């Protein structure tokens, strides 16, 4: 123990048995008596990426032969911690407050390690067979929020400060023992517990996966009530603003990955909205988190604000906002109790804020224009005539014109998106391989691909394709100045509303429901979306919005049905009439 | 009816530098891949595109296809689309991303990747304005060494590319390299490739040889250079024959190789050898049916002044494969001259056969032969023969050959042809036939006599009104 506490290298030289070391320029130890240079180096190279604590902890706690070819000894959860760290950094760069990383995400992660019995508990999973005597629950400890960086939680967070307690020694000892056991069995992974990890199956355990890291990020964003929705988060991932695909390639050089790690850290798919949404709830329930901070009207995630944002995004008149607000109010979707995520409630569920806001807009469009491939066009004719006559007035919103402009913009956007996806480069600079035998093959392949790519890039036009897009929560940009693409934000809805006394009514008095019947049971089967059963305008609008959110159109359709269910609650329960008139006030 | 509509199959000798074939070949298999991917062939030969996706999801345990697989297959279709539209630049851009399929974690796809990449890549480099021979060489050399499966195929196509650019020496070097390449087990498919590579090398040697031969023919025998060149010509021959002979023993269509090989054998007087090669090429049942094989043999035998019966037997086979071939008229002449009665009958069949094809309807020689021969046959009391041939044609020949429309246009274009046809029409359909009547009505001074004679013959011999 004493040897380790002294910050110096105190092993005997393999050549002359002396213990007198100096440091070379490269940071390697050399024997001052016989000038033998060791393979060992003072391991603080990547201190900016990973805090010293971890390296030292690993190095000192697991003092075994660490040949440089094999790299450091590391655990799978450290890998995920590293990814989370990168993601938190990226979020910070996107403008999210620093508390997210330092407090929220950090604590969630610690809580996860504890709940999954990987650290901060009496009985960590790694000590197979032997139990350390004491290791108190650290969650209540004073370092809960005081750590500036994410430390190596596995081994104990406060090694760095030098206040080593008995308990840490115990943990480390047990770690060392389990490591000794594993090093013989876990040949097939770069991490120490890769094999064990992938075999671990316990009831109720939520295992970390790469998509799970995004669930953690989203939970923290939600906790902080940040202005990033789940669909934004996933889009940023897809646009490479947040590390996800091949996040492991930024691991320190010495953290080698192969074999089982490939299955754990390799990803060949972008995250999927529904999947991450489910995982978020799963993780929150597993962590046993308390009710989240209330989503109130001044939060970005409140439907009123999100509706405004999406109305701007799709170039619809600002006047529609009061209608969306009305729908939100009538359905009770603006209530904090409805909006706030409470994992310990009976049925843990959170709102798909972005999808819901968009669904409200779709409902409002249906209220105004019916979207039956008929009324919207005749209303457009009226608006066109009116606009021709009154060129000086605020123009009436013309659905047809809007459709033409949006269709063009949407098609272009989608085409670009598809092309960009087809060109996406999935493979990391650090190839993943199954075993050490495969390593040279994998590296050779990589080199070959790089060479071929280099050769073909000379054939491509010299003008480089516009580099990485800067992240934005808006995908479309509409300005008054652009004459090619009319901006409809300032257009009026006068053409589709009529006054009646004090209130305004929609000219259209009909409505059709996206779903006639809901399942009585509590299954998730709300509705099915068979595209061809619906009007073309409705299809277009669903496609447009679902593209913006990168979700399936059926998911949005489902949400629209749910909004309608709330809006026409009475009608659903009393009669099953298909169409009905609606009075609305402004 | 359908027989008439289909044009005779024209087998052209493969060009030595088959770059067009090469690029077609490039496109072919790729689309095949696509089909395999999207549809499942059921027993009844029906396609169910959705079934494949269903099966795929089952195979991977209900999980959806990975985005990697999705985007790379989208990338492939973008490349194909760009190639189709000749947008080489875009194709190259997508190709840049498509290379990652070499690292696909799906081992089946990973193994298929080099071939697809080679085909697409070489196509792009062949046409891309910024590409040149060096780029192509680098690319080919790289692709050759990704896996050993494609080394020989790529080497061969590489050589063809060089040939296309007139770089004969480099092509020869590539072929020699490929020839001496040894790696792993020798499989039968690889053996064919090696033979093909050697044969192409032989073909290149033939090319040099024939150039020298031409030089030689220009030189005077007393010229001091003559013997040197002659020596050269002789030296070349044995190498070539070794290279080509192995290939043409294997079943296949080897027209250019056979042709040049035979030419060299003939040049050195090895007629028996040449005949053996050609006979084997034409008659060996393991070889695919190939009209050119019989044409080569026939032409060779004709040069050798072989007996008529031999020539007839060769053309008989060609007649079965390509009844519309232009050699059929020669065949008819041979048959007519023969002493055997069955040959005479066959001669009639052959003529009718030729005129069944839309491409031969304006062949005046064929009509002349037919007119003469039908008359001769009828005069020779073989009415049954004519009736037999006419039986299967009387439903459609009148509208196919002898309509009023044809009478008018034939007369306008070629009166001689019209006369011959009218004569045949008269003989087969009788003097009431519209074609015949139309021609008869035309008052032509020079042909007047001929037409009169024709009218008489028709009256006398027409099968519609047989004299009893």
The pLDDT tens digits for A79-121 are 999 999 999 999 999 999 889 888 899 999 999 998 888 877 7
Q: Is there a single domain that holds both residue A193 and residue A99? A: yes
> Distance (Å) from the C-alpha of residue B88 to the closest C-alpha of chain A?
9
**Residue A579 burial (C-beta neighbours within 10 Å; 0-12, 13-18, 19+):** exposed
> Do the chains contact at A268 and B105, CB–CB below 8 Å?
yes
More confident site: A172 or A340: A340
**pLDDT above 80: residue A224:** yes
Q: Is there a single domain that holds both residue A23 and residue A106? A: no
A3: CATH: 2.20.25
pLDDT at residue B45 in the model: 45
Which residues of A are less than 8 Å from B69 in CB distance?
268
CB-CB: which of B103, B124, B139 is closest to A446? B103
> Do the chains contact at A427 and B103, CB–CB below 8 Å?
yes
pLDDT at residue A142 in the model: 35
Measured CA distances, A231 to A160, A221, A228, A277, B244 (Å): 39, 12, 8, 10, 66
pLDDT at residue A350 in the model: 81
> Do the chains contact at B103 and A458, CB–CB below 8 Å?
no
Q: Is there a single domain that holds both residue A507 and residue A388? A: yes
> Distance (Å) from the C-alpha of residue A474 to the closest C-alpha of chain B?
24
Whether A448 has its CB under 8 Å from any CB of chain B: the answer is yes
> Do the chains contact at A422 and B71, CB–CB below 8 Å?
yes
- pTM recorded for the entire structure: 0.71
State the sign of the Cα–Cα–Cα–Cα dihedral B90, B91, B94, B96: negative
Contacts of A14 (CB under 8 A, 6+ apart): A36, A38
Measured CA distances, A248 to A187, A221, A449 (Å): 20, 23, 20
Whether B104 has its CB under 8 Å from any CB of chain A: the answer is no
Q: Is there a single domain that holds both residue A390 and residue A499? A: yes
> Distance (Å) from the C-alpha of residue B312 to the closest C-alpha of chain A?
59
Distance, CA of B442 to chain centre: 43
Enter the DSSP assignment of A159. Answer: T
ipTM > 0.85 (yes/no): no
Q: Is there a single domain that holds both residue A196 and residue A263? A: yes
Measured CA distances, B408 to A381, B403, B422 (Å): 61, 9, 11
Whether A421 has its CB under 8 Å from any CB of chain B: the answer is yes
Window 264-303 of A: residues touching B by CB (8 A cutoff) are 266, 268-270
Confidence band of A525 (pLDDT split at 50, 70, 90): low
Q: Is there a single domain that holds both residue A221 and residue A367? A: no
More confident site: A576 or B430: B430
In a domain? residue A421: no
Q: Is there a single domain that holds both residue A207 and residue A283? A: yes
Element (H, E) at A529: none
More confident site: A133 or A425: A425
In a domain? residue A428: no
In a domain? residue A89: yes
pLDDT at residue B63 in the model: 56
> Do the chains contact at A421 and B74, CB–CB below 8 Å?
yes
Q: Which of A161-170, A235-244, A293-302, B373-382 has the lowest mean pLDDT?
A: A161-170
Contacts of B169 (CB under 8 A, 6+ apart): none
Last residue of a domain, one of A269, A289, A309: A289
> Do the chains contact at B135 and A459, CB–CB below 8 Å?
yes
> Do the chains contact at A456 and B96, CB–CB below 8 Å?
yes
Enter the DSSP assignment of A27. Answer: S
pLDDT at residue A23 in the model: 63
In a domain? residue A445: no
CA distance A329 to A586: 12
Q: Residue A278: what are its φ and ψ, rounded to 5°? A: -65, -40
CA distance A184 to A455: 44
> Do the chains contact at B139 and A455, CB–CB below 8 Å?
yes
In a domain? residue A19: yes
Q: Structural domain of residue A106, as residue ranges? A: 73-120+188-289
> Do the chains contact at A425 and B67, CB–CB below 8 Å?
no
**Could you tell me the mean pLDDT of each successive run of 10 residues in chain B, 468 residues long?**
34 33 37 36 46 50 75 94 93 92 87 91 92 90 82 90 89 86 76 86 85 78 72 68 80 88 84 89 88 92 89 90 89 89 89 89 89 87 87 88 89 87 87 84 74 80 64
> What residue spans of A437-568 are helical by DSSP H?
439-457, 536-549, 553-567
CB-CB: which of B68, B124, B131 is closest to A268? B68
In a domain? residue A572: yes
Q: Is there a single domain that holds both residue A495 and residue A362? A: yes
In a domain? residue A283: yes
Nearest to A102 by CA among A212, A230, A251, A220: A220
Last residue of a domain, one of A289, A307, A333: A289
CB-CB: which of B67, B93, B142 is closest to A451? B142
CA distance B149 to A57: 49
Q: Is there a single domain that holds both residue A348 and residue A205? A: no
Q: Which of A7-21, A140-154, A378-392 has the lowest mean pLDDT?
A: A140-154
CA distance A59 to A65: 10
> Do the chains contact at A460 and B96, CB–CB below 8 Å?
yes
Instruction: Identify which of A416-425, A481-490, B374-383 has the greatest average pLDDT.
Output: A416-425
Domains: count for chain A: 3
CB-CB: which of A449, A457, A461 is closest to B102? A449
Q: Is there a single domain that holds both residue A9 and residue A90? A: no
Whether A520 has its CB under 8 Å from any CB of chain B: the answer is no
pLDDT at residue A10 in the model: 60
Whether B121 has its CB under 8 Å from any CB of chain A: the answer is yes
Confidence band of A494 (pLDDT split at 50, 70, 90): confident
In a domain? residue A355: yes
> Do the chains contact at A270 and B67, CB–CB below 8 Å?
yes
Q: What does the pLDDT average to over A239-252?
A: 91
Q: Count the neighbouring beta carbons within 10 Å of the beta carbon of residue A139.
A: 12
Determine the residue among A264, A268, A454 to mutate to test chain B binding: the one whose Cβ has the most chain B Cβ atoms within 10 Å: A268
pLDDT at residue A28 in the model: 59
Which residues of B are less than 8 Å from A418 in CB distance?
74
**pLDDT above 50: residue A319:** yes
> Do the chains contact at B93 and A452, CB–CB below 8 Å?
no
Last residue of a domain, one of A249, A270, A289: A289
Q: Is there a single domain that holds both residue A89 and residue A217? A: yes
Q: Which residue of A lies nearest to B68 if distances are taken between CA atoms?
A: A268
pLDDT at residue A161 in the model: 32
CA distance B349 to B131: 57
**Residue A212 burial (C-beta neighbours within 10 Å; 0-12, 13-18, 19+):** buried
Q: Count the neighbouring beta carbons within 10 Å of the beta carbon of residue A477.
A: 13
Whether B154 has its CB under 8 Å from any CB of chain A: the answer is no
pLDDT at residue A571 in the model: 67
pLDDT at residue A70 in the model: 67
Q: Is there a single domain that holds both residue A281 and residue A214? A: yes
> Do the chains contact at B92 and A448, CB–CB below 8 Å?
no
CA distance B70 to A104: 36
Q: What percent of chain A has pLDDT over 90?
A: 36
Which residues of A are less than 8 Å from B146 in CB distance?
448
């Amino acid at each position: 123990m004493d040897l380790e506490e002294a910050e110096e290298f105190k092993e005997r030289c393999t050549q002359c048995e002396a213990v007198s070391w100096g440091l070379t320029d490269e940071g390697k130890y050399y024997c001052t008596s016989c000038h033998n240079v060791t393979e060992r180096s003072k391991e603080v190279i990547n201190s900016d990426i990973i805090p010293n604590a971890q390296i030292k902890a690993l190095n000192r706690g697991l003092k075994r032969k660490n040949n440089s070819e094999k790299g450091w000894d590391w655990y799978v959860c450290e890998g995920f911690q590293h990814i989370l760290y990168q993601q938190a950094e990226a979020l910070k760069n996107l403008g999210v407050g620093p508390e997210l990383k330092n407090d929220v995400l950090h604590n969630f992660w610690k809580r996860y390690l504890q709940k999954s019995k990987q650290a901060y508990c009496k009985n960590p999973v790694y000590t197979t067979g032997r139990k350390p005597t004491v290791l108190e629950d650290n969650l209540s400890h004073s370092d809960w929020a005081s750590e500036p960086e994410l430390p190596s939680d596995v081994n104990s967070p406060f090694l760095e400060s030098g206040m080593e307690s008995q308990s840490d020694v115990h943990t480390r000892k047990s770690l060392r023992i389990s490591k000794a056991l594993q090093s013989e069995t876990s040949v097939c992974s770069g991490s120490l517990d890769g094999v064990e990890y992938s075999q671990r199956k316990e009831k109720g355990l939520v295992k970390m996966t790469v998509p799970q890291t995004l669930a953690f990020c989203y939970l923290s964003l939600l906790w902080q009530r940040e202005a990033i929705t789940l669909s934004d988060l996933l889009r940023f991932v897809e646009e490479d603003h947040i590390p996800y695909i091949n996040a492991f390639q930024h691991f320190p050089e010495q953290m080698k990955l192969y074999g089982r790690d490939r299955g754990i850290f390799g990803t060949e798919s972008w995250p999927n909205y529904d999947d991450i949404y489910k995982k978020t709830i799963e993780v929150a329930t597993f962590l046993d988190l308390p009710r989240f901070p209330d989503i109130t009207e001044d939060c970005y995630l409140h439907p009123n604000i999100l509706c405004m944002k999406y109305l701007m995004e799709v170039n619809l008149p600002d006047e529609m906002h009061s209608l969306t607000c009305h729908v939100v109010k009538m359905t009770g979707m603006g209530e904090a109790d409805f909006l706030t995520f409470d994992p310990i409630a009976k049925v843990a569920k959170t709102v798909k804020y972005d999808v819901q806001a968009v669904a409200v807009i779709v409902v409002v469009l249906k209220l105004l224009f019916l979207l039956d491939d008929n009324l919207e066009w005749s209303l457009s004719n009226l608006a066109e005539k009116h606009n021709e006559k009154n060129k000086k007035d605020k123009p009436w919103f013309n659905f047809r014109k809007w459709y033409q402009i949006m269709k063009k913009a949407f098609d272009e956007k989608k085409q670009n998106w598809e092309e960009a996806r087809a060109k996406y480069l999935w493979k990391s600079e650090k190839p993943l391989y199954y075993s050490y035998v495969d390593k040279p093959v994998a590296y050779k392949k990589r080199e070959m691909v790089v060479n071929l790519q280099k050769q073909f890039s000379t054939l491509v036009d010299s003008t480089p394709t516009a580099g990485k897009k800067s992240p934005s929560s808006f995908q479309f940009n509409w300005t008054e100045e652009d004459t090619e693409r009319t901006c409809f934000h300032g257009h009026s809805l006068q053409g589709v509303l009529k006054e009646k006394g004090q209130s305004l009514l929609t000219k259209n008095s009909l409505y059709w429901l996206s779903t006639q019947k809901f399942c009585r049971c509590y299954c998730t089967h709300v509705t099915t979306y068979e595209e061809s059963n619906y009007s073309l305008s409705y299809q277009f609008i669903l496609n447009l919005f679902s593209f913006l959110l990168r979700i399936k159109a059926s998911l949005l359709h489902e949400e629209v049905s749910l909004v309608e269910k709330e809006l026409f609650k009475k009608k659903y329960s009393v009669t099953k009439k298909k169409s009905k008139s609606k009075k609305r006030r402004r | 009816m359908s027989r008439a509509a289909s044009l005779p199959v024209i087998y052209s000798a493969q060009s030595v530098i088959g770059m067009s074939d090469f690029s077609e070949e490039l496109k072919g298999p790729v689309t095949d891949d696509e089909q395999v991917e999207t549809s499942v062939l059921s027993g009844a030969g029906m396609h169910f595109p959705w079934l494949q996706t269903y099966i795929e999801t089952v195979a991977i345990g209900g999980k959806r296809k990975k985005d990697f697989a999705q985007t790379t297959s989208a990338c492939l279709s973008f490349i194909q689309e760009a190639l189709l539209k000749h947008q080489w630049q875009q194709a190259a851009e997508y190709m840049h991303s498509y290379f990652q399929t070499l690292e696909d974690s799906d081992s089946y796809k990973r193994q298929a990747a080099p071939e697809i990449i080679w085909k697409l890549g070489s196509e792009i480099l062949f046409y891309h304005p910024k590409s040149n021979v060096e780029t192509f060489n680098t690319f080919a050399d790289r692709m050759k060494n990704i896996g050993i499966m494609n080394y020989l195929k790529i080497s061969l196509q590489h050589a063809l590319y060089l040939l296309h650019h007139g770089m004969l020496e480099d092509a020869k070097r590539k072929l020699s390299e490929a020839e001496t390449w040894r790696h792993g087990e020798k499989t039968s498919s690889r053996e064919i490739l090696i033979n093909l590579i050697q044969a192409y090398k032989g073909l290149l040697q033939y090319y040099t040889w024939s150039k020298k031969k031409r030089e030689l023919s220009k030189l005077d025998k007393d010229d001091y250079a003559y013997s040197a060149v002659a020596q050269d010509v002789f030296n070349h021959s044995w190498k070539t024959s070794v290279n080509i002979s192995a290939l043409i023993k294997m079943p296949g269509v080897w027209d250019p190789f056979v042709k040049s090989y035979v030419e060299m054998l003939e040049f050195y007087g090895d007629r028996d050898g040449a005949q053996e090669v050609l006979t084997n090429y034409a008659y060996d049942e393991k070889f695919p049916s190939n009209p050119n094989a019989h044409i080569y043999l026939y032409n060779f035998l004709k040069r050798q002044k072989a007996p008529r019966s031999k020539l007839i037997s060769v053309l008989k086979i060609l007649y079965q494969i390509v009844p519309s071939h232009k050699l059929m008229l020669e065949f008819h002449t041979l048959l007519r001259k023969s002493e055997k009665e069955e040959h005479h009958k066959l001669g009639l069949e052959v003529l009718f056969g030729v005129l069944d094809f839309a491409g031969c309807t304006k062949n005046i020689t064929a009509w002349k032969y037919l007119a003469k021969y039908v008359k001769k046959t009828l005069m020779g009391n073989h009415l049954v023969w004519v009736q037999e041939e006419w039986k299967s044609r009387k439903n459609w020949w009148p509208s196919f050959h002898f309509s009023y429309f044809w009478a008018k246009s034939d007369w306008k274009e070629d009166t001689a042809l019209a006369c011959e046809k009218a004569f045949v029409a008269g003989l087969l359909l009788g003097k009431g036939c519209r074609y015949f009547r139309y021609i008869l009505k035309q008052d032509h001074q020079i042909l007047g006599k001929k037409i009169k004679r024709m009218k008489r013959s028709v009256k006398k011999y027409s099968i519609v009104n047989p004299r009893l």
